A = this chain, B = another copy of it.
Amino acid sequence: MNIEQKLQELNITLPNISAPAASYVMVNQTGNLLFISGHLAKKDGMVWVGKLGENLTTAEGKQAARLIAIDLIATLKQHLGNLDKVKKIVKVMSLVNSSSSFTEQHLVTNGCSELLVQVFGDNGKHARSAFGVSQIPLGACVEIEMIVEI
C-alpha cells in the first residue's frame, strides 16, 4: 500500500499549507535531507492557542501534536508531489508550550510520533526530542519541526 492509500485508510485529508510570510521557507533540501520548519498547532485552520499545565489537557496537547503531524505530511506532499519518495522520517523536535510544572511533553509528542508510524510504518520511526518551552509564536500550544530523508 502506498502512502496516499494509507492516508485514505486513516481518513486523513491533507490541508493546504500556506507559504511563510517572512524570509524563510517551509522545506529546505540539502543532499537527500529535507529540513522542515517548525509547524504551529492549528485547529479548524486557526492557531491552536494554549499552554499545557495551565489551560489544556495532555489529551488535547496530544491531539494538537497529531494535527501538526498531518500538516507536516501536507508540507512534504506539496514539496515532493509524491509521498512515496519519503525514505524515512529521521528526526522530530517537539516544543510543548508548558507551565513550569507540566512534565508530560513526551505524552503530548506521542500524538505526532504515533501518526508518523501509522502512515509511514517502520520508515516513520524517528529519533526525537520533546521538551517544554515558555512560549511559542502566536501562542500556539505545540510546535514541531522534522528532518526527512528522501
Contacts and interface: CB of A to CB of B under 8 A. Distances in A.
A95 B110 CA distance: 19
13 contacts: A23-B124, A25-B125, A28-B91, A28-B125, A38-B130, A99-B100, A100-B134, A101-B135, A103-B136, A103-B137, A132-B136, A133-B133, A134-B134
As for how many copies of this chain the complex holds, the number is: 3
Interface string A20-39: 00111111101111011110
Nearest to A125: B25
Interface of A: 22-28, 30-33, 35-38, 51, 53, 88, 90-93, 95, 98-106, 109-110, 113-114, 116-117, 124-139, 143, 145, 147, 149
Closest 10 CB pairs of A and B: A38-B129, A132-B135, A106-B137, A35-B127, A28-B127, A23-B117, A23-B113, A103-B139, A37-B127, A132-B134
B38 A128 contact: yes
A33 to B, nearest CB: 7
